[in-house]
Amino acid sequence: MILVVGGAGYIGSHLVKELVEKEKVIVLDNLSTGHREAVDSRAIFVEGDLGDEEDLQMIFSSYPIKAVMHFAAFSLVGESVIDPLKYYQNNVASTITLLNVMMRNNVKNFIFSSTAATYGIPNVDVIDEKTVTAPINPYGHSKLMIEQILGDFSKAYGLHYVVLRYFNAAGAHESAKIGESHDPETHLIPIILQQLLGQRDQISVFGTDYDTADGTCIRDYIHVTDLASAHILALESLLNEEKSAEVYNLGNGLGYSVKEVIETCEKVTGVEANVVMADRRAGDPARLVASSEKIFTELGWKAERNLEQIIADAWKWHQKQQY
Ligand code: UDP
């Protein structure tokens, strides 16, 4: 059985939908940002907190857990600057509690959701896993701290882990039954689509004077279903004892500017956007684009879905969003 912590959240729920086809799954989620409806009915659901040793021990005592996948983190850069304690408490302290209970119960396979924010403002056009990590906000720090802790636990306690550094997760399940739903929503693609649906008056482009071709920020958007499939491969590599301490980027290798994303949304949906130019948002690097060569070479993974597909699936979801 696989424990998915944060399996009611956006990325976790998409992973669970794929994983239940192959493994027995138990989800632990405190529903602080996740949605109970997003959890596939074939998974066992426990409402509880990863920082609560009793909740965790109950699960490890009751079920034969062979690996843990950890998605339960706060992930908003701006919020992390205003309230770093929230980020260090949950993303770091509670994760240490989880790791502690895992070690005590001799569960030694771990998949960790990390982020492009660990790279800070990289001085390369395409980021690979050897690019220096130098986060510029508490969110990025909190994720990199756990990566460092995993390295030490691996050497000292024989923990086997894979770290997956996501770039910009987007899109929705092809069934349109699950998708992205944050409150408040801060991410570019859902904000654009909500505006196209008339749920917002306008889209603000945060910064038009960046050192990029059209002056707006460039990001690497990756379909959430492609992210899910990378987790399944990473899990198999751990369970087959092929990997013990690895870090992989997960992106498309293609960068799109904010303006290009808006144009692509207009093209896919056939609806014209109402766009206003705005000031830069604090903490945004001009360009974040991944090389995912390493995971392709080692695990045979690559992103299968392009930006049009991401937007088409997200559009289906937002048109009849169920939660
Ligand atoms: N962005 C924007 N307007 C918005 C939301 C986001 O211009 O209403 C920009 C943001 O500044 C960044 C890009 O879109 O350059 C992607 O932002 P998002 O919050 O989706 O993801 P992040 O890259 O911060 O993880």
Q: Which domains does the chain have, with CATH numbers?
A: 2-170+221-250 (3.40.50.720), 188-219+253-320 (3.90.25.10)
Q: Looking at residues 60-76, what average pLDDT do you find?
A: 97
State residue 94's pLDDT score: 98
Ligand 1 geometric centre to CA of 273 (Å): 16
Average pLDDT of the chain, as a whole number? 97
pLDDT class for 242, splitting at 50, 70, 90?
confident
Kindly provide the residue ranges of all beta strands, DSSP E only, lying in 77-127, ordered along the sequence.
109-115
Q: Residue 283 pLDDT > 90, yes or no?
A: no
* Nearest-atom index, ligand 1, CA of 261: 14
Give yes or no for residue 205 CB within 6 A of ligand 1.
Answer: yes
Q: Residue 243 pLDDT > 90, yes or no?
A: no
State residue 282's pLDDT score: 83
In the chain, the percentage of residues whose pLDDT exceeds 70 is: 100
| pTM more than 0.95 | yes
Q: Just list the catalytic residues.
A: 139
Q: Residue 12 pLDDT > 90, yes or no?
A: yes
Q: Looking at residues 86-108, what average pLDDT do you find?
A: 98
Ligand 1 geometric centre to CA of 7 (Å): 24
Q: Is the peptide bond before 184 cis (omega within 30 degrees of 0)?
A: yes
Instruction: Select from 155, 133, 153, 152 the least CA-distant residue to 144.
Output: 133
Kindly report the protein residue whose alpha carbon is nearest to atom 10 of ligand 1: 206
Q: Looking at residues 134-141, what average pLDDT do you find?
A: 96
Tokens, residue 28: 């632990």
Ligand 1 geometric centre to CA of 189 (Å): 8
Q: Looking at residues 294-298, what average pLDDT do you find?
A: 98
Residue 225 has phi, psi (to 5 degrees) of: -70, -35
Kindly report the protein residue whose alpha carbon is nearest to atom 3 of ligand 1: 205
Q: Looking at residues 190-202, what average pLDDT do you find?
A: 98
Distance CA 140, CA 158 (A): 25
Q: Residue 38 pLDDT > 90, yes or no?
A: yes
Q: Residue 241 pLDDT > 90, yes or no?
A: no
Residue 31 CB contacts under 8 Å (≥ 6 apart), including other chains: 8, 47
Tell me 132's DSSP state.
P
State residue 318's pLDDT score: 98
